[in-house]
Structure 1
C-alpha cells in the first residue's frame, strides 16, 4: 500500500492511496472461505457449496467491503500520525474517467480531499486584555420595572370617556375611499397632539384627523396595521369609538406583593422595592456574565487567528447533510458554523494545553442547575429536588445520548473560560442598561 499527501494550500490537501492485490487478497480469501461455511445456495446443503461458486456469487461484494474497510482504517491511522488537525471528514474524489472494474482490476487508486488547520498554541497571559462587565441596576430601572408591574397586575375598566394612555377600540376609515378596519389604538404610542383629539371622547363619537398626523412606524405600532395597509393611507381619516379600555395601576399592598413574589415573601413597600432591585440585579448579573464570556470568546478566537478551509467545509457540510440542505442554506449558515467551529478548536486547545477536563460529576451538577432554572417559577420546590436524579438521568439519556455530549462540551467551555479569565488581564467595567443594549446592537 502506498499513501501520499499533496498539500494544495495552507489548509486543504489531497490524499492518494494505492492498493495492490497483496494488500487485500488474503482478507478477501479468508472472508469467502468463511462465507462458504455458512451460506445457503440452492441445490447444496448449507455450507457445502463449492468455493468457486461462492466466489462467483459473492466475490465482488466481499472485495468491495474489504477494500472499503482497508481504506477507512488506513486513512484514519494515517491522519492520526499527522501534525495538523483534520476538519470534517475526508471526501472521496470521484473521477468518471477512472471507473473501477471490480471484476478484473487488481490494483486500485483512490483519492480524498481533506481540510485541515495546522496545530497551534494559544498561551494565556496578561498581554491578552478583556473586560468583565457588570450592569448597574439604578433607581430609574427599578421605578420603570415597578410601574410596569403595577400596570400589568392592575384592574381593567371601561370608562365612559378616554384619557391619556387608554386603549381605544373602534373603526378606522378613510374619509374618502374604501379603506376601513376595526383596530385597537394605544394612545400612549401616538403623538400627544393626535392623542389629545381622543381625550374626553366617548362611545360612538367620531374623531377626525389627517394621515400626516401619524408618524413613521406608528401605523404599525399603535394602530396595528401591516406595512401594505399603512402604505395605502395618504388622506384624511375618521375613527369611530366603540369601546375604551383602561388599566388602573395596582396598589402597593400585600395582595400585590404576594402576586409578584409569593405569599408573605415581602411585607412592606421598602422590602418590595429591595426585592425588585435584587431580582433585577441577579438577572442582569447572569446576562453580564454571558456577555463577558461571549466577548472573551471573540478575543481568544481573534488571537488564535485560524484560517479555515471554507471551500472544503462548505462542500463537506452539503454532502454530510445528504440532501437535507441546499447550497444556499450552507452559504447562509456558514458564518455561524464557522464561529462555532473556531471556538471549539480554541476551547479544545486551551483545555489540552492546561489539562482542563470536564468530569462526569460536573455534568450532573450543571444539568441540575439547568433544571432548577427551568422550574424556578413552578413552585415545585422540595418535590423537584426529591425527583432531581430522575430528571437528570432522563435528560442526559435523551436525544440518543447527544444531550450528555452537549452538556460535557458546555462544562468544558465553562472551565476554559473561567481559567482564561484567571490568566489574562481582566478589567472590571460597570455599564448602564442603555450602554449594555448599545453593545448588544454592535
Structure 2
C-alpha cells in the first residue's frame, strides 16, 4: 500500500498506516514577519528602559531583548491555527492530540521552519448489535416478598412492648464491648438478624441486665452489619473474628399493627389511596417493580456495553497513545507508567469510540429542545410532589431557563438523557432475551 499524502496550504499529511500519520507544517518568514514586527512595535511604544524616553527605545535594542521570545510565540500561534484548521477541514478523526516529532531540532535562528507532528487516527470498524444474545431481566415482586413487606409495615407501625427475657422475634438494645478491637457501641438488634446458631442460642432466654459473650464471626449474614452494630471500620468489618460482650439494657417485642383503614391512610398520608390488604400488596408490587426496573436497566446497560467492547474488534494506535499519555500531563510519565495508564483506560476508550459511532450513525445526540423538554418534565414531577399539579407553561419555561443557564446542571442532565437514549436504543436494537425472575434470584444470578 502506498502511503497517502494530502497537502493543503502549508500543511502536508502523510499516512504511515491506518492508525498513524505525520503532519508537516511549513511556516515561512512571510507568514510571521508582519505579526512579529507589529508586536515588537507595540513593545517599543510601551517599553520602559532606563536612559530612553518612552516610545524612543531603539528598535535594535527591543529586538535584541524581546525578538526571539516574540518570534517563538507568534510562530506557535500560527502553528496551532494551521493544525486545527487542517484537522477540522479535512475531517480527520484523531485520538489524543498531535504530538511534536522534531521539536528539539528546530533552529530558531533560521527564517523558515518545518514542524512535524505525530497523529493517532481513530480506527474504522463495524458494530454488530445482533451478535451475542443478552439477558434482559424482568424482576417481579413475588408473593413471599409482598407478604414480608406487609409484615415489615405492620411491625414498623406496631407497638413496642417491654419485656424482661429474650424470645424469638424480639428486639434487643444493649452495648457491645471488646478491648481487643476497641469496640464500645450501643445498638439495637433483632433476633431475626442473627444468622449464627450459637449466637442466637446464647441470646434466647437472656434477661435485661445480663451480659452475654458472643463471637462476631458468622453472627450476621452480611459482614457490613458488623460495621453498623459494632462501630468498626469498613475494612475491619469484613471477616471480623473477635469475642464481644453484649450487656442487655432493653428487650422489646413488637405487637403488629392491624391491617385497617387507619393504617392504610397513615402509610400513604391520604385517605382512601388503599382500602384493603390486596390493594396494599398491589401498591407495594407496583413501587417495588418500578425500582427493580431501574436495577434491571442498569444491568442490561452494563452487559450490552461489556458485550460491545468484547465483540467489536479493532486496533488502536497503542504506541502513539502511550507516548501521548506520557507527555500530556503536567509531569512527564515513565514509559512503564504510561503503558499501565493506557491499559487501565483502554476499555473506556474502546467504548467511547463505539458509543460515538452509534450516536453518529443513528442520530442519538441530545438536542437542546429535548434537554429543555426533559428538564420541564422533571420540574413538573417535582412540583407535583409539593401539590402544584398544574403549573403554567410560562412558569415551567422560566424555571427551565434558569436550570439550563447553569453549565454543571446542563452537563448532568445531558448525561442522564444520553444514557437514557442509549439504553432505549439497545432495548430496541440489541439481541435480547427477557427472563422473569424474583429479586433474590436476580441478585444471585446477575451478580454472582
> Considering the TM-score relative to the shorter chain, is it more than 0.5?
yes
Q: Does 1:432 align with 2:432?
A: no
- Using the TM superposition, give the Cα deviation of residue 106 of structure 1 relative to its aligned residue in structure 2, in angstroms: 3.3
- Using the TM superposition, give the Cα deviation of residue 275 of structure 1 relative to its aligned residue in structure 2, in angstroms: 1.0
Q: Does 1:139 align with 2:165?
A: no
Residue 199 of structure 1, aligned match among 204, 209, 215: 204
Is the Cα–Cα contact under 8 Å of residues 217 and 239 in structure 2 kept in the other structure? no
Q: Spell out the pairing of 1:37-436 with structure 2 (5 A cutoff).
A: 39=46, 41=48, 43-44=52-53, 51-80=59-88, 85-92=93-100, 98=104, 102=108, 104-122=109-127, 126=130, 129-170=133-174, 181=184, 183-184=186-187, 186=189, 187-188=191-192, 189-207=194-212, 220=226, 224=230, 226=232, 227=236, 233=242, 239-264=246-271, 265-309=273-317, 312-313=320-321, 316=324, 322=330, 337-371=345-379, 375=382, 379-382=385-388, 385=391, 388-398=396-406, 401-405=407-411, 407-408=413-414, 410-436=416-442
Relative distance call for 1:220 and 1:383 in structure 2 (3 A) is same
Is the Cα–Cα contact under 8 Å of residues 351 and 412 in structure 1 kept in the other structure? no
Relative distance call for 1:91 and 1:177 in structure 2 (3 A) is closer
Give me the whole-angstrom Cα distance separating, in 1, the residues matched to 2:421 and 2:317: 28
Give me the whole-angstrom Cα distance separating, in 2, the residues matched to 1:52 and 1:245: 95
Give me the whole-angstrom Cα distance separating, in 2, the residues matched to 1:434 and 1:402: 37
Q: Aligned residues, how many?
A: 428
- Using the TM superposition, give the Cα deviation of residue 258 of structure 1 relative to its aligned residue in structure 2, in angstroms: 3.2
Is the Cα–Cα contact under 8 Å of residues 36 and 50 in structure 1 kept in the other structure? no
Relative distance call for 1:29 and 1:120 in structure 2 (3 A) is farther
Relative distance call for 1:39 and 1:262 in structure 2 (3 A) is same
Look up the SS of the partner of 2:230 in the other structure.
coil
- Using the TM superposition, give the Cα deviation of residue 64 of structure 1 relative to its aligned residue in structure 2, in angstroms: 1.9
Is the Cα–Cα contact under 8 Å of residues 162 and 253 in structure 2 kept in the other structure? yes
- Using the TM superposition, give the Cα deviation of residue 363 of structure 1 relative to its aligned residue in structure 2, in angstroms: 0.8
Give me the whole-angstrom Cα distance separating, in 1, the residues matched to 2:291 and 2:180: 51
The alignment's TM-score, normalised by the length of structure 2, stands at 0.75
Give me the whole-angstrom Cα distance separating, in 1, the residues matched to 2:154 and 2:341: 43
- Using the TM superposition, give the Cα deviation of residue 138 of structure 1 relative to its aligned residue in structure 2, in angstroms: 1.6
Is the Cα–Cα contact under 8 Å of residues 160 and 203 in structure 1 kept in the other structure? yes
Give me the whole-angstrom Cα distance separating, in 2, the residues matched to 1:402 and 1:83: 29
Give me the whole-angstrom Cα distance separating, in 1, the residues matched to 2:344 and 2:157: 40
Relative distance call for 1:241 and 1:355 in structure 2 (3 A) is closer
Look up the SS of the partner of 1:204 in the other structure.
coil
**Root-mean-square deviation (Å):** 4.5
Relative distance call for 1:320 and 1:254 in structure 2 (3 A) is farther
Is the Cα–Cα contact under 8 Å of residues 125 and 313 in structure 2 kept in the other structure? no
- Using the TM superposition, give the Cα deviation of residue 437 of structure 1 relative to its aligned residue in structure 2, in angstroms: 1.5
Relative distance call for 1:402 and 1:110 in structure 2 (3 A) is farther
Give me the whole-angstrom Cα distance separating, in 1, the residues matched to 2:120 and 2:154: 58
Is the Cα–Cα contact under 8 Å of residues 155 and 255 in structure 2 kept in the other structure? yes
